[in-house]
Amino acid sequence: MKHTIFRATVAVALAASALGLAACGSDESSTAAPDTTSAATPTGEFEGGTEGEDKVDGTDPTTPEIPDLPKPTVEELNDKLQKAFDPSIDSKTKISWIEDANQDPMLVDKLVDAAKKNDVTVKITNVPDPVDGKLKADAEVTIGGQPVENATVSFVAEENEWKVDHAFACSIVKAAKLDSAACQPE
């Protein structure tokens, strides 16, 4: 939720800045003499630096490929979560189970400490079909013995496995009033 509010605020600020710049630029361009020294470049082409070369068409940027992993079972996700909260398993092993944990190698230890401090328990109850490499599993979550209504745990497909979404890990870390470089607003 915090990320959504922050992104919305940034989007509004950027839109206001763009409108302000457009308004400032429109007065000046209406009185300026037209530029006769540059030729117009057709849309979709880049102007070359050498005469006589063919035009160059731009291509769309590529996005990382989302792995096509099979839908995990309730048991698989519960096993991963139980191991993530287990202090006897070393954090180097657990870093690969949490999205973006490599941004802060201490995130895993902070997650374990936060879960213990707040008496957090998580049990996955239903796993829907993944969409675009993501899924939100229904869960029974308690914090300090109090159930959390309509709880879900998000997972993302990365490399060759399902990882706990960093937003879920960060929500537990922040609930314990701990901080992590992996949990900073973007």
Predicted TM-score (pTM) of the model is: 0.62
**Structural domain tally of the chain?**
1
Q: What is the pLDDT along the chain (186 residues), one digit of tens a residue?
A: 444 333 433 333 333 333 333 334 444 444 444 444 444 444 544 444 555 555 556 556 555 678 889 999 999 999 999 988 898 998 888 888 888 888 888 888 888 888 898 899 999 999 999 999 999 999 999 999 999 999 999 999 998 899 999 898 888 888 888 888 888 776
- pLDDT (0 to 100) of residue 22: 35
pLDDT for 123 equals 96
From 183, 52, 40, select the one nearest 108 (Cα to Cα): 183
Q: Provide the 3-class DSSP secondary structure of residue 124.
A: strand
Please report whether residue 179 resides in a domain. Answer: yes
> Quick check: is 88 in a domain?
yes
Task: Report how far residue 169's alpha carbon sits from residue 116's, in angstroms, rounded to the nearest whole number.
Answer: 13
104 within domain boundaries:
yes
Domain with residue 167: its CATH number is: 3.10.450
Local structure of 18: helix, strand or coil: helix
The answer to whether residue 85 is domain-embedded is yes
Q: Using CA atoms in the order 163, 150, 130, 69, what is the torsion angle rounded to 10 degrees?
A: 30
81: in domain: yes
Compute the half-sphere exposure of residue 14: CA atoms within 13 Å on the CB side of its CA: 6
Place of tokens 């300026």: 32
By residue range, what is the domain housing residue 160? 74-183
Question: Does residue 59 form part of some domain?
Answer: no
Flag whether 165 is in a domain.
yes
Confirm whether 101 is domain-assigned: yes
